[in-house]
């Protein structure tokens, strides 16, 4: 990629192209609205980071 080409990514919420540069205030989102929609989905637990099922957290006792 040359210095004059600008990298673009798709907004994770609506799919519109977003220029990846410091002046893109809401990157990777196209707007504050799309950013807040995504944040709300995390709060509603529609998005999750998967945890391996074979890992038992320290101090967890299933008998309690």
Which tokens in the block code for residue 44? Answer: 């509603």
> What was the pLDDT predicted at 51?
74
Q: Rounded to 5 degrees, what angle do the CA atoms 54, 56, 57 make?
A: 145
Binding-site residues for Zn(2+), please?
Answer: 11, 14, 30, 34
15-56 pLDDT per residue, tens: 999 999 989 999 999 999 999 999 999 999 888 888 777 766
Binding-site residues, please?
Answer: 11, 14, 30, 34
> What was the pLDDT predicted at 2?
64
Q: Which domains does the chain have, with CATH numbers?
A: 8-43 (3.30.50.10)
> What was the pLDDT predicted at 19?
93
């Amino acid at each position: 990629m040359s210095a004059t080409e600008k990298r673009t990514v798709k907004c994770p919420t609506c799919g519109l192209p977003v220029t990846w540069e410091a002046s893109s205030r809401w990157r990777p989102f196209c707007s504050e609205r799309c950013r807040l929609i995504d944040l709300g989905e995390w709060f509603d637990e529609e998005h999750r980071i998967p945890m391996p099922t074979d890992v038992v957290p320290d101090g967890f006792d299933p008998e309690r």
